Structure 1
Amino acid sequence: MKKLTTGIMMIVAIALSVLTTACGSNNGENQKGMMENMSEEDMGDMMEGDNAENMQSDMSPMTASYMDITNALVSDNPEKAGMASSEMMDMVEMEDMKNALKAISGSNDLKKQRMAFSELSKQMYNMAQSGDISETMYWNHCPMAMNGDGANWLSMNEKISNPYMGQKMPGCGSVQETLNSGN
């Protein structure tokens, strides 16, 4: 009888764990533990949805580089954000974008990188609005970013992966606009 009770309790515990994880109500420590046990490929899939590699192969090189920067900031990885920014720098001509990319690649401070990323995101948004970026993108907003001033970014899907809050609050934010959905 004791084995049966222990077995039932384990099943209930597992079910509760699955339920709280699925509902997003697990705390940051559980998320951090889950993230540490995931491979880099699994994390990329989680941040960009299923088939992240296939999605990136369908993107323009500039959009793919922007998404690499975004994913690095979501992962709280300043080194990857810097490398992706350096790669993107060769693709842009606009001085405002180059300045933002230089600020990201020239720092390992996530706060500074995220401030520059906000400027980069505004420039990418303008390009998407004008049709210079043909992929369907989502303009997202996080009201808590930048010390409560809020900030925006572009993503390739509607699932929020917040580059400003990183792993502290990866789901914070909402889609504000869908761009180029008719192309």
Structure 2
Amino acid sequence: MRVFVAALLALNVGACNQTVQSEGPEPVAAALPAAPALPPEGQGPQLASSAAGATVPMEDPGTSVYEPLVDMHRVNPDRYQRDLTACRQQAAPQLAAIKRATQQQQTGTAIAVAGTLASYIPVPGFRQAHVLASAANAVQSVGGATAESGAAAVEKASSDYALVVDSCLTHKRYKLLRP
């Protein structure tokens, strides 16, 4: 039984140690599609945030997590798209931080679920049940804390991304409707 619990904990700790190595921020500008100048009717700026219920599309690096709301009166749409692409490229480190934080949040959630599932493992004696319950509670706590930390990091990185894009567009003389 001890071997089983030790193997379960080793798998959970191994899941925490997944890192992605890259040489720098991922280029965003090359893969960006032409986005509409204004978001659809009734929608404001879109931030990736776990608290707001929005999701961060991690599979497609070309999709943006934020679409600024810009006054397009007397603005050349082609020039705006070029400037927006340049501003998103400037905010690429924040986009990479959003992706890392989202991965951390998902890992923490998976660890917490593994701890919950471990609590349902049948054991023959009271002492083993007590040890298993303690280990499952510890794993759930670690997973919950990791997921919560990841969610906070996603929120901060998302607001930083929006700040960088908005500041860049403001410096390029665009009028933001919702700064």
Higher RCO (C-alpha under 8 Å, 6+ residues apart): 2
- More strand, by proportion: 1
Pair member with larger Rg: 2
Same fold by TM-score greater than 0.5: no
Q: TM-score, normalised by structure 2?
A: 0.22
- The TM-score, its normalising length taken from structure 1, stands at 0.22
